[in-house]
Amino acid sequence: MTKDRIKDLQKPHPWPRVAYKKISRQHRSHEWQHTTSECSIPLNPNEADREHAVTEFLAQIDLIRLLIHKIRELTEDVKRIHQEMIEPLSDPQLGQQLDDKTADIKNLARNISQKLQRLEQAHKNQHVNQGNAQWRMTESHIFNITKEFYDIMNKYNEEYCEHRDRCKNSILRQLEMTGSRKTDDELEEIIEKGFQGAHTFSIMVDTEQIRQTAIFIEERHRDIQKLEHSIEELHDMFADLALLVTTQREMIDNIHQNVSKAAEYVIPAVQAVEEAVKIKTKSRKVNISI
């Protein structure tokens, strides 16, 4: 039978000239938290400012991306309304819906454009940091979000141009149905000036059909006039965006070229380090075997 030797174990003896006191578990936990908080390394003020600036910058990028997504959704709504409007018996309320969607897109586009200009200006003010990692990251983010905005606005512009062509073709079909054939120049004149009267139709055409055709042509004429007015309002912004994207693309290409050159120097250095590690490991094995 195994003998119980626990009683033979020596009891712990206190160290001489050392004072002892009991500390509650809650107090010990508080002391530990207080000690660890005192031992933490505080951030340098400049580092804290940079961290805050990066966080604020990324928040602005996320906000702009959400606004661009909203424009993308509105553009799809505009496309759907355009397709419904060219139908002969379309809903009269579609015109007001289109005006509301167009106004929302314009306001969002101006808001995004202003935010991008502020980000670009703040980035230019950091020219002293040009070339460092944070500067390149900021440059890349601004370029990507500007390109995304440019693409969606270009898609919006293309939809308006396509709708103008659809309106033009629908007017041409309505005129042909009434027996009135028009040349391209005459059709463009109708688009620019509107419908001039029923005297251009054949006398064999029913009066009600003439009236319906005239109403349809006038509606399409107003649609086209609104389209062209909207494009004119956004023309300056399109030009600024195109110039900004072109300029930023050149800067991004230069950055990528510099990074590629740096990588060409880094790769041989990494290979040399790996080779040195292999040689060192091999020499250790030789020493152990000896």
What angle, rounded to 10 degrees, do the helices at 45-85 and 133-177 form? 10
For residue 86, give every residue at least 6 positions away whose Cβ sits within 8 Å of its Cβ, in sequence order, or none. Answer: 166, 167, 170, 220
CATH fold label, 51-247: Methane Monooxygenase Hydroxylase; Chain G, domain 1 (1.20.58)
What angle, rounded to 10 degrees, do the helices at 184-193 and 133-177 form? 110
Higher pLDDT, 188 or 45: 188
Whether the predicted pLDDT of 117 surpasses 50: yes
Average pLDDT for 168-194: 69
Question: What single string gives the DSSP state of each residue in 214-265?
Answer: HHHHHHHHHHHHHHHHHHHHHHHHHHHHHHHHHHHHHHHHHHHHHHHHHHHH
With 0-12 CB in 10 A as exposed, 13-18 as middle and 19+ as buried, what is 172? middle
Average pLDDT for 145-158: 88
Pair 135, 90: CB distance under 8 Å: no
Domain-wise residue ranges, the chain: 51-247
pLDDT per position as a tens digit, 67-95? 999 999 999 999 999 888 877 677 778 88
Give the CA angle between residues 174, 176, 177 to the nearest 5°: 65
Nearest to 148 by CA among 68, 84, 252: 68
87 — alpha (psi -120 to 50), left (phi > 0) or beta? beta
Q: What is the pLDDT of residue 68?
A: 94
For residue 143, give every residue at least 6 positions away whose Cβ sits within 8 Å of its Cβ, in sequence order, or none. Answer: 245, 248, 249, 251, 252
Pair 160, 192: CB distance under 8 Å: no
Q: What is the pLDDT of residue 153?
A: 87
Nearest to 242 by CA among 173, 122, 150, 107: 150
Nearest to 223 by CA among 101, 86, 107, 71: 86
pLDDT per position as a tens digit, 15-66? 555 455 555 555 555 544 554 444 444 555 566 667 777 888 899 999 999 9
